[in-house]
Each structure stands twice: as C-alpha cells, then as structure tokens.
Amino acid sequence: MTPLPMPPSTALAQPTPTNDRLHTIDMLRGFALLGILAANIDTFAGPESFHNIPIGLAQPAFVGWHAPLDLLIFSFKWFFIEGKMRALFAMLFGAGVVLFTQRLAGANRGMEEADAFHRRNMWLIVFGFLHGVLIWSGDILLMYGATALLCLYPLRHLPARRLMVVGLIVWAVGGTWGLSNAFRAGDTLRDGRALHEAVAAKAQGLPLTPAQTSLLAKKDKQDMERQAKATAAVEKVHAEAYLDGFRSRASAFLNFVSWIFTSGWIAEVLGAMLVGMGLYKSGFLSGQWRTRTYAAICMTGYGLAAPVVAFGIWAAHQEGFSAYANMRWLYLPYIGVQILVMFANAAALLLLSRWAPFAPIAARLRDVGRMALTNYILTSLLCKIVFVWSPLALYGRLEYYQYHYVVVSIWLVNLTFSGLWMRHFRFGPLEWIWRSLTYWKRHAIRSRYAAA
C-alpha cells in the first residue's frame, strides 16, 4: 500500500499485530461496550428527568402491571451497569495508553512515540465531535481524547502502585465532588428537604402550614410542566427533520461536554484512566493475578456494594424516586459503589475467562472489543434508526422494560457482525481508519496479511 506523505520519522510505526494483543483486555472492552448500551438506552429511547432514573418520561416507569418488572430491571442495571461499564471502558482506555506507548518506546522511537500518541488522540477528538454532532449528543470519545492529551502522556512512566493510588484518590474524591457539582447536590438536598417533609405530613394526614401548602402546589405545577415538556420533546423529535435538528444537536453536545468538564465530573474519567494504567502494569488486566485474589476482589466488591445499593433503591422507591430521595440514597454513594462493583465485574470476568466452557463467549466478546470504536458508533446509529430515523420512530413510545428488547437485539448485531468481520479482517473499519491516521500510513486490513 502507498503511504501518505509524512515525515520519515512517523512512517515506520506499525499498529499492534493481532498476535500481540492482550485477549483479556479485548474481552473486557467488549463486555464494557455492550454494557454501556444498556445504560445509555434510556437516553436513546425517550426524554429522561434524572440521569438514568426513568421517572417523568412520556411513558413513565414503575406504574401499571409491569411496575415490579421495571423495578427489577432498574435494580439490576443500577447495581451492575450504571456507571460501572463507563468506568471499565475508561480504565481500559488508560491501559491502552500504556500498551501503545510501551510498544513504541520499546522500539526506541522517542519523538515518534509522542507524535503518534498525540495524533491518535487528536483524531479521537475529531471522531467524537462528529459522533456527538451528527449522531448522538452523549458521546464520550471527545472527552477521552481530550483527557489523554491533557493528562496521560506525562504520567505513563509512573510505577503501577503510584498510578493506582493517585487514580483512586482522583476518582473517589474528585469524582464525588464533580458529581455533586454536576447535579447540584447541595441545592437539591436543601430544597428537597422541606418538600419531603410536606409530602410526608400530607400522607400522614397532619395539618399543613401555609408554606407546606405552597410547596405542594408548586410541586404539582412542576410535575405537570415536566410531563408536558416530555410530551413536547417527543413530538419535536418525531416532527423535526434531520438537518433542521442539526443546530440543536450540536448545541446539546457542546453543552454536555462543557457540563462534564466545568462541573469537575471529568475527574471520574481521569481517575479511572490512571487506575487502568496502573492495573495494566501490575498484571491485573492481563489475568496474571492469582485466582483467589480475583475471587477475593469479587466477594469484597459485591459484598460491600450490595447492601448500600439495595437499601438505596428501596428508600428511593419508598419516596417515589423524588430528586431529593435519589440524591440522598442513590447519588451520594454513587462513586464508591461504582469503584467497588467495577473492580468486582472485571475480576469476575477474568475469573470466567479461566473456565473452559466460557471460552466461546470470551471469544465473541474479544471480537466486539477489538472493534470497540466501530461498535460504539454502530450502536448509536442503530439506536437512532430504531427510535428516530426510520418508520418505527419508537422514541418516547416504549415502556421502560421494552427498551431492553432493543438492547438485546443490538447486542446480537454487535456480536454477529464483529465475529464475521474479524474472520476476514485484522481491524474493524473505523479502527483501520484510526490506525492509518495515527501512524500516517495505510495498513493492510485483510487477515491474510496478518499471518504473513
């Protein structure tokens, strides 16, 4: 293949050969990518009133005959998926930074290492911007590329223990602070307490003060406005042409990115990436730790998180998943639970990878993970087609439990497409474009070249 014209110093680099890839990292990445869809489906499927807590929608959850089913699905997702898959994906991105730079450094290509690293992440920012503006405003690629450019390269040589300790501090402290800022925890708790007391007094038949009566009237008005806003949002999505909605999508995406950075919630992403860099160096992600160590991480993570999440969901459900209840019971312990369960999920999957009957599933997950960029964009396209850009137009028209039929269907597409593609090609289509742009050289994509 004819290389693109670039300085000779960057023309010699090559992408990681297939045989040199760490299969465990690909498997974990595929698992995380599938899980991210289960978390994001709420946003694809309809307007939401509180981050991935399905209340106040055009089709509200937790009502009707399927209320117990909704609660079961929500509880499962909140414990195993919400925030955990996003964190695992960020952690693996950090591991990829070390893997990428170590390979180039091992070839004694000092300046080339820096050039390739920065080009790689600048192109990721471009992909993320296009994805966020043209397809879905919840893109994370731009944030990953920007975080890597700003922070990760100078830290790549730190020892594993230091990376993990610093990463956990940034993640736990900075992430909790950022999350509290993002959702205005102080205002929500302060304003919600008085309303909570008024609702409780009314439920118990106690006499209400004039202030409580005013608060309840205000709440009823806000509930009606929220429902009307959700209905209007659904109608707008179905009536608006793609080009007409371009400006609103671009604005929503830029506001989303600004919100994540200015609130400080980006610390969650940075912390997870630093932890991933340390875990890769320590051998955790390549499955080099002892079986009993992985088992201990599973039991500790799930054991500590389960009672916190179970009580939080029960308490929030008892209070009707109000903003006040959600903040107290679900979001204040969010980051701590996220860290515990993310580690437990990763350890459990690494344990399963040692079990022979799990091998076929692990192989399919590896295919998805090797095509993570392609599958991430493909998932967004399929969701937009199902919910907005096709005669199906299901946005705002499915019950909460019905969203997950779409999730399973798209998982099957990801698994089938990835398996078939990787039989014939070395990289996914977008991975091939990204690698060629990173190394500034067109690379062979068909699998027969890999064997040679």
Q: Is residue 3 part of a domain?
A: no
* Residue 34, token pair as written in the block: 């599938």
pLDDT of residue 449: 45
Q: Is residue 183 part of a domain?
A: yes
d(CA 452, CA 132): 38
Reported as type and span, the H/E element at residue 283 is none
Q: Is residue 2 part of a domain?
A: no
Q: Look at the chain and report how many structural domains it folds into.
A: 1
Q: Is residue 237 part of a domain?
A: yes
Q: Is residue 312 part of a domain?
A: yes
Q: Is residue 256 part of a domain?
A: yes
Going residue by residue through the chain (452 aa), what tens digit of pLDDT does each one get?
333 333 333 333 444 444 445 899 999 999 999 999 999 999 999 887 567 788 755 677 888 899 999 999 999 999 999 999 999 999 999 999 999 998 887 655 555 888 999 999 999 999 999 999 999 999 999 999 999 999 999 999 999 999 999 999 999 999 999 999 999 999 889 888 888 888 888 888 888 888 888 888 888 887 787 777 778 888 888 888 887 778 888 898 999 999 999 999 999 999 999 999 999 999 999 999 999 999 999 999 999 999 999 999 999 999 888 888 999 999 999 999 999 999 999 999 999 999 999 999 999 999 999 999 999 999 999 999 999 999 999 998 999 999 999 999 999 999 999 999 999 999 999 999 999 999 888 878 887 544 44
Residue 30 domain boundaries: 8-451
pLDDT of residue 108: 56
**CB 144 within 8 Å of CB 128:** yes
Q: Is residue 284 part of a domain?
A: yes
Q: Angle, nearest 10°, between helix axes 110-134 and 84-106?
A: 150
Distances (CA, A) of 253 to 38, 67, 128, 258, 411: 20, 32, 10, 9, 25
Instruction: Give the alpha-carbon dihedral of 421, 423, 427, 431, to 10 degrees.
Output: 20
Q: Tell me phi and psi for residue 53, to 5 degrees.
A: -110, 110
Q: Is residue 388 part of a domain?
A: yes
